[in-house]
Structure 1
């Protein structure tokens, strides 16, 4: 079960990441589709703005995945602790349990 959770968390983390090269290619494609010509000042501004937007979105997605993974791990630990058998951990005698 743990292996399945770790594999799922790793897959989500990798799916949310976009490399800098992918961001740059996507930015160039977006600006060409908008009708701007490569080499012009407006094209360069468009590429820079689109690249920064892509990187910001990738960073936000990666941090959301990290928070979700951390919450899942904490939730699993809490659930595991709540369902653990208690008889093994406590000793009782005439004066009480500890």
Structure 2
């Protein structure tokens, strides 16, 4: 159970680790690589759209990691509870 929690927390931290500066830098480099010139309206629109896309992807990844961590924690708790319960088989019934 502890391992599942640690792995889930680590995934959550790593999924949303792209900073605003990194998102902007990535958007700018993509727009320059396509041949757009800095300072033009087209370049500015490209950078803005790329930045919004990067932020949306980062948020989606963080949400997926959080959901995965929650599923891992709940699943670990269910498995732990099932393993801790004694299982008796009484056949047709216990008297």
Identify the TM-score tier after normalising by the shorter chain.
0.7 to 0.9
Task: Note the residue ranges of structure 2 that are not aligned, 5 or more in a row.
Answer: 87-95
TM alignment of 1:17-96, pairs within 5 A: 17=16, 18-86=18-86
Deviation readout 1:34-73 (Å, 9 max, x if unpaired): 1111111000000000001111111111000000000000
Higher relative contact order (CA 8 A, sep 6+): 2
Compute the TM-score of the two structures, normalised by the length of structure 1. Answer: 0.79
Task: Note the residue ranges of structure 1 that are not aligned, 5 or more in a row.
Answer: 87-98
Bigger share in strand: 1
CA contact (8 A) 2:38 2:44 kept: yes
User: Once superposed, which parts of structure 1, at least 4 consecutive aligned residues long, lie more than 2 Å away?
Assistant: 4-7
The alignment yields a C-alpha RMSD, in angstroms, of 1.6
Count of matched residue positions in the alignment of Structure 1 and Structure 2: 86
| Residue in structure 1 matched with residue 92 of structure 2 by the alignment | none
Shift in Å, 1:7? 2.8
